[in-house]
Amino acid sequence: MKSETYDQKTIVHNYGHGGGGLSLSWGSSALAVRETVGMQPGDVAVIGSGIMGLTSARLLQDAGWNVTIYTRDVWRHTTSNVAAGEWAPYSVYEGSRASPAFLSQLDWASRVSHHAYTNLTGPDYGIRFLEGYTLRGRPFDGFDGRAEIASLFAHKANLEPGEHPFGDWYAQRFVTMQIDPGVLLRRLVQDFQVAGGRFVVREFATLSDVLSLDEGVIFNCTGLGAGELFGDEELTAAKGQLVFLPPDPAIDYFTFGGGSGVLYMFPRSDVLLLGGTFKPGDYTRHVEADETERIVDAHASLFAGFG
């Protein structure tokens, strides 16, 4: 998160973190809104209607700003709407490049976002607590990830084969939140409009287009599009591929791992979601048939001996 001044306009950049944008949304947006401390609230523009744009807009409204969201795609056509949806702010930075200041911000944003989501639990916002199981072929030693973030998970236990129904795998059991993006985004749009916010469908091709807006404060929540729009050469795509199956109300837990490559299963209310891939630097958007086959076959194999 950072702010810059162009032609006496303040632009606050808040385009999230690949692999953890939904998880960190409220916290990242809170960091971005802190850039306006000391300003007199007035009219503000938010560019983008994904999770970062909507959470930024709602927090700005809470701080007294009059918010207009400018967006090329309405919320249901954003990448946020096909996010997997489990609260786990991982895969969001390169450890070798993370400074102490960044890690401090990450810990703060994680706590803020976790607190925000726990305040929204229930069917209205599509958020519920579920058990999750991470599976691998060797014993676990402690809990993966940063200790500050791990402390936000409600329950953690390391299990050996025979102590769970997943066969010969070692398992780490935990409790976290399942976030159904379609339900959440729809409700945030409603909350935004009830609070007086308005949408304008508009595409921005250049920085000059952005600076032509009447608002003096502009939040850049354009995600991957910010690379070209603002000349951010460090912004890199991370391709993910998912498989959507009909929902199964009997499945009330997550799984991670249990086969080769990246694998996970999330029981959303609208679909049973199988993943996946994580390919940094891959800008393609086409579906890879071999990855779909791998994802489905690996999960079929995992649950063939379930019991």
DSSP output for 131-155: EEEEEESS---S-SS-HHHHTTSS-
What's the pLDDT score for residue 19?
65
In this predicted model, what pLDDT tens digit does every residue of 25-53 receive, in sequence order? 999 999 999 999 999 999 999 999 999 99
% of the chain surpassing 70 pLDDT: 98
- pLDDT of 168 above 80: yes
Lowest mean pLDDT of 11-20, 27-36, 104-113, name the range: 11-20
Structure tokens at 189: 């749009």
- For 37, other C-beta atoms within 10 Å of its C-beta total 7
Burial class (CB in 10 A: 0-12, 13-18, 19+), 303: middle
Lowest mean pLDDT of 75-79, 231-235, 298-302, name the range: 231-235
- In this prediction, residue 196 has a pLDDT band, given cuts at 50, 70 and 90, of very high
- For 247, other C-beta atoms within 10 Å of its C-beta total 14
Q: Whole-model pTM?
A: 0.93
Lowest mean pLDDT of 66-70, 108-112, 207-211, 237-241, name the range: 237-241
C-beta separation of 44 from 60 below 8 A:
yes
What's the pLDDT score for residue 89?
87
Residue 158 — φ and ψ, nearest 5°?
A: -100, 125
Lowest mean pLDDT of 3-7, 195-199, 217-221, 268-272, name the range: 3-7
What's the pLDDT score for residue 25?
94
- State mean pLDDT over 145-166: 88
Q: What is the dihedral of CA 192, 193, 196, 200, to 10 degrees?
A: 100
% of the chain surpassing 90 pLDDT: 66
Q: What is the mean pLDDT of the chain?
A: 91
Q: Which domains does the chain have, with CATH numbers?
A: 2-117+181-229 (3.40.50.720), 128-179+238-304 (3.30.9.10)
- State mean pLDDT over 186-205: 96
What's the pLDDT score for residue 1?
63
What's the pLDDT score for residue 226?
80
57 vs 283, residue with greater confidence: 57
For 103, residues 6+ apart whose C-beta sits below 8 A from its C-beta are 146
- pLDDT of 18 above 70: no
- In this prediction, residue 238 has a pLDDT band, given cuts at 50, 70 and 90, of confident
Lowest mean pLDDT of 131-135, 151-155, 181-185, 287-291, name the range: 151-155
- With CA atoms as reference, report the closest residue to 254 among 171, 187, 159: 171
What's the pLDDT score for residue 225?
79
d(CA 144, CA 138): 13
C-beta separation of 275 from 243 below 8 A:
yes
C-beta separation of 32 from 5 below 8 A:
no
- With CA atoms as reference, report the closest residue to 192 among 82, 60, 71: 60
Structure tokens at 147: 């200790």
- The DSSP symbol for 175 reads E
